[in-house]
Amino acid sequence: MFTLNEVLEMTGTFRTAVVGLGSMGYGIAQSCLLAGLVTHGFDVVPAQVEKFRSEGGATGSLAEIAGLLDAAVIVVLNAAQTEDVLFGDNGVVPKMREGSVILACATVPPDFARNMADRCNARGIHYLDAPISGGAAKAARGQLSVMAAGSQDAFSAARPVLDAAAETVFELGTEAGAGSAMKAVNQLLAGVHIATMAEALTFGMTQGVPPEKFVEVISQCAGSSWMLENRAPHIVTGDYTPLSQVNIWPKDLGIVLDIAKSASFSAPITAAALQQFLAAAGMGLGGEDDAAVAKVYARNAGLTLPGDA
């Protein structure tokens, strides 16, 4: 009778674990599975784990299979959760074998990424600073953009996961932190674009422009953006099922402003967008889709958005 670890070891295939089966992590796990990688999925929500296993995800606890992993993809909310998964009481890094790789995908400060890389490297584990962009749909199709930095050995070790989950991999240097710095730039723009979309859409309503007409016209004009085209339809349908939550933006834009402060850089537009997301969270909308920031503008202007009574 073989143990679980013996059975897994005998398969001889590339084995990865995706920790964090939210909207992005679940898509990454699905893409890895579709690419033929033996893929384990873990999350604090047991139903997500069971759902993934029902689709073909591998079984076994993280503690049981950690020593057999070629890669662990960490797609949690923030730096604190990333550190806990890697080095907490049940941290995965001390259990992984030398030469395996961590792909750290959360939006975190560059200094944090460098610290995690140093701690992983000290144990013979490669670390790829690998923030992601593209949304849940692209994650499920293996079409993410990855802003990655790390040693060539880290890139090589992570290549099967990158090939499975990403359409574009930007190799931003050999030192961790460069990927997180680029992700901060992206998040500055993305957060501002969402808030500005909400401002423009509700401004249009005050001028008699219905939200659906706003989307039809502006998405074909110079004022459009990827975020406008992706998020404004949520407002039109009144569907705020969270694909990306309001609560993400106080964290991400807060990281941007912390980095800006350390660089003595003024970022007033980012600060203004952050205040709108904080207002949305204060209204109890933190768990809704981030397009719900439009409700802040609607409330202040006395407007009724689609789907609202």
Burial 103-117 (b: 16+ CB within 10 A, else e): bbbbbbbbbbbbbbb
What interhelical angle do 79-87 and 110-121 show, nearest 10?
10
Residue 216: CB atoms within 10 A of its CB come to 11
Residue 138 falls in the annotated catalytic set: no
* 3-state DSSP assignment of residue 172: coil
What interhelical angle do 226-237 and 178-206 show, nearest 10?
50
* 3-state DSSP assignment of residue 195: helix
* 3-state DSSP assignment of residue 173: coil
Catalytic residue among 95, 138, 183, 213: 183
Q: Please, what is the Cα angle at 249 between 247 and 254, to 5 degrees? A: 115
Residues identified as active-site: 183
